[in-house]
Structure 1
Amino acid sequence: MTGPELRDTLIREIVKTYGGSGARWRQAVGQIKVYSRATHAHCNWDVRATGSPRQIEIVESAVDAMRTTLPFVEES
């Protein structure tokens, strides 16, 4: 899975769980930053959520859940 594919998956899960529009959550999630696995042995991707405190909390919770099953993505 690449960063953009992960972003789409993350947004789908957030919409499914919390509702709202994909466009709204796409803005809150922002871009997935992918790092080299050589320098990031635990997890090679990151999200910098934006929006209201509640939106940020939801995105960060979804990111934490996603990292348990998908700690690494391919660089796109």
Structure 2
Amino acid sequence: MTAAQILDLLIAALMRRAGGTKRAWRLAIGPVQIYDPATHPHCNWSVSPSGNAQQNAQIERVLDDLRLSHPMVRA
């Protein structure tokens, strides 16, 4: 799984769950940060949501599920 694929999965899940457009969710999510698995052995990616309070809450809910199913990604 790559960072771009994780972002696509995240956007698709948010659109199903909360509606909205791809562009709006992409802007609210921001870039996917990838870390070295040696220093982050349980989950090597993260995002820093920058949307409004409602968007950020939805993003955090979906992130919890995605981190469990896809803890490791490549750049």
TM band (smaller chain): over 0.9
The equivalences for 1:30-45 within 5 A come to 30-45=30-45
Q: TM-score, normalised by structure 1?
A: 0.94
Q: State the match for 1:51 in structure 2.
A: 51
Residue 73 in 1 paired to residue 56 in 2? no
Q: CA-atom RMSD, angstroms?
A: 0.7
Q: Which runs of 5+ in 1 are unaligned?
A: none
- 1:5-59 C-alpha deviation (Å, 9 max, x unpaired): 1101110110011101111001011100000101101100001001111111111
Q: Mind listing any 5+ residue stretches in structure 2 that lack a counterpart?
A: none
Aligned partner of residue 41 in structure 1, secondary structure? coil
Where does structure 1 differ by over 2 angstroms across 4 or more consecutive aligned residues? none
TM-score by length of 2: 0.95
Q: Percent identity of the aligned residues?
A: 36
